[in-house]
Every structure is written in structure tokens, then in C-alpha cells.
Amino acid sequence: MTHPHLTTFSIVACDLDEPAWGAAVASKFLAAGALVTWARAGAGVIATQAFARVSFGPRGLDLMAGGLDAQATLDRLLADDPEREHRQVGCVDAQGQAAAFTGGDCFDWAGHRTGAGYTCQGNILTGPEPLNAIAHAFETTSSDLAGRLMAALLAGDTAGGDRRGKQSAALVVVKPDGGYGGDHDRWLDLRVDDDPDPVNRLAGLLELHRLYFGKTAQENLLPIKPALASELQGVLARRGYYDGPVTGTWDEASIQAFWAFVGTENLEERWTPQDAHRLDPVILTFIRERFGDA
């Protein structure tokens, strides 16, 4: 039985200061993120592609969690693989060491690049330019790990990407107990499974993730003074959450109306009644852009 190749470009990386491990991928392949990217906080991250052996993902994470470094893990995965020359794999371990392999029978253009805390790889590319662009963007972008991975993927896409075209893209970042609710490591797991412009669509999803789950420093929160209270009351009244007068007094009725609005818009990570008299400026921007003129 033959299988379609995961003609793909990807990057796997870590930022030990966060600490976080993550991967980004784009491909002319349906739902590439479901097969290519594998990550576990405190263990590492893996991309498996080309004539992908998907089991390399969970097996490799188990090996790195057990103490093997990236290169030893890669060697172990490939050691008894009769199709190794058709595989392409990138690994970054818990300590940030990177290793990659591109088999000699991967379809041109195929190759990989490794750097401090990352490796990027691709096959059936337009040439080496996408990988060069990915590496440069990752190394020079000032952001958290998710932002650097997204910048790298955008750069690879702009530089040519998969020469067959575009279909899917994905971004995953794990942190110890960093997931929603704090009891798992999946801080971010975004996928565009079938879209004519998947990488740019993915960038938009990352911005939404930052809106809903990002944190603003306490010192940057805005006091809800009368002018701002009046603005919020006006929005709440127009949206049907508040039926009181627009007085500029941020009273209990206004707070409860705003809490109902926050619940509808899934903004609970950025505002609760426990800190009722201050507002995250990200929420204010969201309100003004989406509801300010209606």
C-alpha cells in the first residue's frame, strides 16, 4: 500500500526561560498538524514528516522523557526502520538540544537546518530559501516562543514553502501545567486543516488566542473612571446587558452586566468581578473595535 508524502515545512523549538516547547508546520496535506507535530512539556518536541512514521512522535517523546537527548532519540527511532531514507524528522529535547534527519530518498528540495534550541526541516520545497527564511525569522524575532514560531512559519510561507501549494498549518506550544485550567501542558494547540491560505489564517488564530488567554501585567490595568464607565455602560446598553442609566458610576448593576458580557465573549481569563474596578486594555481595544460604533 502506498501513502501520500507529508510534503511539509516545519520548525520545532524550545524556550527554556518560559519554559516552553513547541512546533509549527505547514503543508499541502489535509490536517498536517494532526500527524506531524508532537510535544510534551519537560520532555521535548518532534516533527515527523515526508513518508511520515507517525509513531515516531509519541515514541520519541517517551524516549526523551526517559532521559535520552535529541540525537540519541533520533538514532533510536531510525535504527530499525527499513524506510529511514524516506523519513524526515526533527527533535528538540528537554535541555534544548536539537537533532534532525533528512533521508536520501526524500523528494527534492529536501533538507534541514539546526540552531540553538531549534531545528527546521522541509521536503518538496521550492528550494532552500524557505528553510533559510524560517531559521532567520526564528533567530531574529523578539517574542515568546509562540510568536517566534509563527514568525518563522510566515517567513517560510512567504519564501516559497511547499512547491505543490497550500492546504493546512498548525501551531502547538506546551508548558508545565500551562494549559487551560492548569492541570495539563497544552498551552496552545491551533490548527487550520483545510484552507487556501492556511498560514495567514493560523496567524489570525494566534491573535485570538492572545486575546482570550493572554495576561496583562497588573500595573498596566486601567482604572474604570467615570468616562470609561460611561463608555462601557453605553456598549452594555446597546448590546442588551444593561438597562440602567448611563451615569459614569461603575456600580454593582454595571459590574454584573459587564460580567455577563464577559461570559458571552469568553473573556473570563482577562476580567472577573474580583477586580471589578480595573480593566485590561486588551479588552477595551476588543470592545472598541467590535462594539464601539454600534
Q: Which domains does the chain have, with CATH numbers?
A: 8-213 (3.60.20.10), 218-291 (1.10.101)
pLDDT at 162: 67
Q: Grid coordinates representing 35? A: 500527524
| Model pTM above 0.85 | yes
Please identify every stretch of the chain with a pLDDT value under 70, giving residue numbers as ranges.
1-7, 161-162, 293-294
Q: Which three cell numbers stand for residue 257?
A: 452586566
pLDDT score at 66:
97
pLDDT tens sequence across 23-36: 999 999 999 999 99
Cα 78 to Cα 74: distance, rounded to the nearest angstrom:
6
How far is it, in rounded angstroms, from Cα 90 to Cα 119? 6
CB atoms within 10 A of CB 183: 7
Burial 124-162 (b: 16+ CB within 10 A, else e): bbeeebbbebbbbbbeebeebbbebbbbbbbbbbebbbb
Residue 7: the pLDDT is: 65
Give φ, ψ of 83 to 5 degrees. Answer: -105, 20
* Predicted local distance difference test score (pLDDT) of residue 4: 55
pLDDT at 77: 98
Q: What is the pLDDT of residue 274?
A: 94
Residue-wise pLDDT for 222-243, tens only, equals: 999 999 999 999 999 999 999 9
Partnered with residue 188 across adjacent β-strands are 173
Closest by Cα among 231, 239, 292 to 263: 239
- Asked if 136 and 148 touch (Cβ cutoff 8 Å), the reply is no
Give the pLDDT confidence score for residue 1 in this predicted structure.
40
